[in-house]
Amino acid sequence: WHLDSVFYEIFPDRFASSGRTADTPDWALRRDWDTPPDGSGAISGRELYGGDLAGAEAHLDHVEALGANALYLTPFFPAGSAHRYDAVSFDRVDPLLGGDAALASLLASAHARGMHAVGDLTLNHCGVEHEWFRAALANPSAPERGFFTWSPEGYESWLGVPSMPKFDHRSEELHRRLFIVPDSVARRWLEGPDGLDGWRIDVANMAGRLG
């Protein structure tokens, strides 16, 4: 189906807001919707505008009118930034975006229009506050220790960005949790008639590679 698709990319925090408010996390700098973002500055990842998945669902008429018949959602997992490429868990949708129910509602509405939707999955890294990485730091004997690459200086990260520790795909347990078991990260969000229709893989050319 993707060969016949015109995708519209949605960065949830910046596309549309339902007007619902949530507590501001410690990392965030709240911004008024009409205030231009800092852009590529040091604080750009911390600027939170309050867009959410319900806001995206409310604007599907607009997306469809543009001629798009598929959605590409940038990451929706809870994280330590507005872009959410530094996920702290792969098990739930960020409550700031409306949680699991908001994603299910958006996908149901999209599918009812004959639209497809894909999510954005980081197989190269996670966030420094991810539960797997915290377990690895807390206990060198933990199974999650093998999920990451270590050196006397610390851990490998994506392009040296310390907030994004890099996965070590030589770990069979990591492979199992990402792909194999029925509730694995890659599989669980595709389940059911109103699950995602696929994944876009972030920095796929780097995943499973080092140096």
The tens place of each residue's pLDDT in the chain, 211 residues long, gives 999 999 999 999 999 999 987 789 999 999 999 999 987 777 999 999 999 999 999 999 999 999 999 999 999 999 999 999 999 999 999 999 999 999 999 999 999 999 999 999 999 999 999 999 999 999 999 999 999 999 888 999 999 999 999 999 999 999 999 999 999 999 999 998 899 999 999 999 999 999 7
Residue 152 confidence (pLDDT): 86
Helix (H) or strand (E) holding 126: none
Three-class SS of residue 201?
A: strand
Nearest 5°: CA angle at 158, between 157 and 163?
65
Residue in this structure with the two tokens 């194999």, named with its chain if needed: 180
Q: List the end-to-end C-alpha distance of the chain, in Å, as a whole number.
A: 35
Instruction: Determine the Cα–Cα distance for residues 106 and 193; give it in Å rounded to an integer.
Output: 13
Joined together, the tokens standing for residue 44 give: 């750009």
